[in-house]
Amino acid sequence: MERRTRHHAPARPRTSWLTLFSLLAMLVSCFTAAPASAQENASPLTPNAALYYWRVWFERDRDFASSIAEKHAYKSADAEWRPSPELVKELELRSGYISGILRASEIGPCDFGIAYEDGYMALIPHISLLRESARILAADARRLWMSDHNDEAMERIAAIVRMAGHTRSDRVAISALVGSVLIDAATDETAAMAKAGKLGAESRTKLAAIVRPLDVEDPMGIRNSVESERTIMLGYVRRRIESAGVKVIEEFVSLNQSDKDVLAKLRAMNKAELLKDIDQVDRYYRDALAAWHAADGKQKLLAMQSQITSGDYGVSAKLFAPALVRLFENSHKGREKVRELLALLDEKPVAK
């Protein structure tokens, strides 16, 4: 389910004892924070990749990544694209940024600290930054292999794959979709290298070792993210209704366009009726997840969207039930893309 991903970069701090203390705290936290899923088996010094990403992003050039796509017209799918001398120079000047992103991508645990308790109001600013970083790495990979620095180019592509894996930790659909986009970018750039005859045996083996664990059903965990959002979002809605009553509907309507008829019906409900109606949205999620692995899963999801319109899943579903067909398609295409990348590396896929 899509939600806001806007962010505001923090201002450059002034030098003070408080600032120095804060920076020290950040460095300590880099070795103490780990995602909940990893904490049980993690040592107290387990690093958190998210904090390493943020340290690099703190000093980033906001306009540079967008200029690669807009000013320099880079598209990973364009195997004929070449970086201009100007862009080559700009990429070389950002070697520190690139090294920092490479380092962050190599760290296993990654927890960006999403405030799940905020439900629909939770912000996910790191998603756009991961895409920016992947674009820079991909363009730099192109620069490198076009100047015969093939192994360094493959390091950038490997980092993009690892970054895609990091999006799984978010357990939300928009992050899973971005992970799929990163896999696409890595595959496109590898294909361009293969076409140019720049894939060496050693670098093939190294990248294949990183990609191979993703040769599973739904590699970006899209279905799991939908199941997670069912718990996160509907839990948030129920808590808000319990605490604020039916007036909370105004808050949700402000987040989503709804017709006047839907709004009037929701306003007419008391708290108990509204909570019961939310249970119908939960039923929609359960039905959709049950259909996910069916041979006719897409058709079932399309039918469910029609049922939402007709009111079969209650009134609230028109406000809170997401359309899942696109997520379903990306979920099932994910393994195909991973296997396309493995094929470029002359790797046989694992058995289904």
Task: Return the pLDDT at 156.
Answer: 97
From first to last of its 352 residues, what are the pLDDT tens digits of the chain? Answer: 434 444 333 333 333 333 333 333 333 333 333 444 444 455 557 899 999 999 999 988 888 988 998 999 999 989 999 999 999 999 999 999 999 999 999 998 999 999 999 988 899 999 999 999 999 999 999 999 999 999 999 999 999 999 999 999 999 999 999 999 999 999 999 999 999 999 988 889 999 999 999 999 999 999 999 999 999 999 999 999 998 877 777 777 665 666 678 888 888 899 999 999 999 999 999 999 999 999 999 999 999 999 999 999 999 998 889 999 999 999 999 999 999 999 999 865 554 4
The C-alpha atoms of residue 352 and residue 177 are separated, in whole angstroms, by 23
The C-alpha atoms of residue 165 and residue 107 are separated, in whole angstroms, by 11
Structure tokens at 328: 């379903």
36 close to 111: Cβ distance less than 8 angstroms: yes
99 close to 52: Cβ distance less than 8 angstroms: no
The C-alpha atoms of residue 134 and residue 128 are separated, in whole angstroms, by 10
Task: Return the pLDDT at 120.
Answer: 84
Give the number of other Cβ atoms within 10 Å of residue 331's Cβ: 27
The C-alpha atoms of residue 333 and residue 241 are separated, in whole angstroms, by 38
Give the number of other Cβ atoms within 10 Å of residue 239's Cβ: 13
> Exposed (0-12), middle (13-18) or buried (19+): which is 28, by Cβ within 10 Å?
exposed
Task: Return the pLDDT at 347.
Answer: 61
Task: Return the pLDDT at 21.
Answer: 32
In the chain, the percentage of residues whose pLDDT exceeds 90 is 70
